[in-house]
A and B are shown apart, each in its own frame.
Chain A
Amino acid sequence: MWRITMASIGLALAVAVSVPALAHHGWRWTTGNNIELTGVIIEAKLGNPHGLLQVKAEDEVWTVEVGQPWRNERAGLADSDLAPGVEATFIGEPSANVSERVMKAERIRIDGRTFELYPERD
């Protein structure tokens, strides 16, 4: 029984330690280089802990992470700017695993206006 316990504890710790490789918080999971994605928002889920959009760009659908409500608001974005049907260009970093089709937006261009989610990032 002692060995089973030690194995369970070991497994739990291994899971906890391996998790950062999958992380979607912060920027460690992205490539470090920006891409631009232009498309139409088809689904929006806004709110804590962060907002997620589904964006249809040509024949691909990307998941775009936007800010939490305070960050979107600070950038000057209303919820209606991030609603289905809106066409926008997202500038930010894609997941290092490009086949995931996931990116985190640093700034968003809508109708020629630019909204800075992370003004301090390039």
Chain B
Amino acid sequence: MEGGWTFVAETGIAEWVRVSRWGYAAISGAHILGIALLVGAIVPLNLRLLGLWPSQPLGPLWRVLKPAAIGGLSLAAACGGLLFLAGPETYARAPVFQAKMAVIAVGTLSALWFSARVDLVASPLRVRRAAAIISLSCWLSALALGRLIAFTTD
């Protein structure tokens, strides 16, 4: 084990994630629940921003789906952090994992930027579409890359 992850891998919690049968299964399940909440919220919200369902008011959708997405991302990130502990060095050096972390960073930062600087509910379609395309690209890529980790990392 190299690359500065030894300290992390030797913690008690990392050891537990590495050997626990049902603990690991539960964390994986909760990770998926978080992803389901996040993607399940941002896909309809972004499709609405892109112009689908024009007769449905954006305000109420926004108020429901934004906290659902934030909750989903928080759960997925917390559980993902635990799953990472099972093999920090292996994951950290895997290109697919690095790419996943990069698109999550872009997705999170752009969401923070848009919510701090832009009122998407009141902005013109052009701005909404840009926000929606960035969001959909980031989170769907994160999902696909995350799934790929299980099939490319050894």
8 Å CB contact of A48 from B17, B132, B133: B17
Asked if A27 is at the interface (CB within 8 A of a chain B CB), the reply is no
Residues in A whose Cβ lies below 8 Å from that of B20: 48, 69
Cα A5 to Cα B132 in complex, Å, equals 9
Interface residues on B, range: 20 to 34
Contacts of B148 in A (CB 8 A): 15, 19
Contact-size category for A? 20 to 34
- The chain A residue sitting closest to B14, CB to CB, is A47
Is A86 an interface residue when CB atoms closer than 8 A count as contact? Answer: no
CB-contacts of B71-100 with A (<8 A):
86-87, 90
Contacts A8-B137, A49-B86 supplied; 16 other A-B pairs, CB < 8 Å: A1-B129, A4-B133, A5-B50, A9-B136, A12-B141, A15-B144, A19-B148, A22-B152, A24-B154, A45-B87, A45-B90, A47-B18, A47-B19, A47-B86, A48-B17, A49-B150
A23 within 8 A of B: yes
B147 within 8 A of A: yes
The distance from the CB of A101 to the nearest CB of chain B, in whole angstroms, is: 12
Contact of A49 with B133 at beta-carbon distance under 8 Å, contacts A9-B140, A12-B144, A22-B151 already known: no
Q: Is the CB of A68 within 8 A of B140?
A: no
Q: Are B86 and A48 in contact (CB under 8 A)?
A: yes
Is A109 an interface residue, CB under 8 A from the partner? no
B150 pairs with A47, CB closer than 8 A:
no
Task: State which of B132, B140, B147 has its C-beta within 8 Å of the C-beta of A19.
Answer: B147
